[in-house]
């Protein structure tokens, strides 16, 4: 079990079409390992850096820019860690089928 603080999810919308979650991270906080069950879009709420821990031990940094969204397909598996050095947040929009 990780000693990192846990990121805090806040559900903003959850209906038959989409789920919108605001993820709020303290410095160094993590989501915990998870697999995405839907295609999704992330909208950064500021400039920052996320550290992505991936299956097989791979670790990479993902620099994010305020308001510049990105899309990922269903099936992504990872642990997301705030590497920004300050609190950070983003919106995650899951596209349900």
Task: Reply yes or no on whether the pLDDT at 1 is more than 70.
Answer: no
Q: Tell me, which fold does domain 8-95 have in CATH? A: Jelly Rolls (2.60.120)
pTM above 0.75, yes or no: yes
Question: pLDDT tens across 13-56, in order?
Answer: 999 999 999 999 999 999 999 999 999 999 999 999 999 999 99
Cα–Cα dist 81/30, whole Å: 4
Q: Quote helix, strand, coil % in the chain, to nearest 5.
A: 5, 55, 40
pLDDT of residue 97: 82
């Amino acid at each position: 079990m990780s000693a990192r603080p846990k990121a805090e999810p806040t559900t903003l919308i959850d209906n038959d079409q989409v789920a919108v979650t605001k993820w709020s991270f303290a410095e160094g906080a993590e989501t915990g390992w998870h697999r995405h069950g839907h295609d999704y879009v992330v909208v950064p709420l500021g400039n920052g850096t996320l550290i992505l821990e991936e299956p097989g031990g791979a670790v990479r940094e993902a620099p994010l820019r305020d308001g510049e969204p990105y899309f990922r397909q269903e099936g992504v598996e990872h642990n997301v860690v705030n590497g920004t050095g300050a609190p950070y947040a983003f919106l995650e929009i899951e596209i349900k089928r």
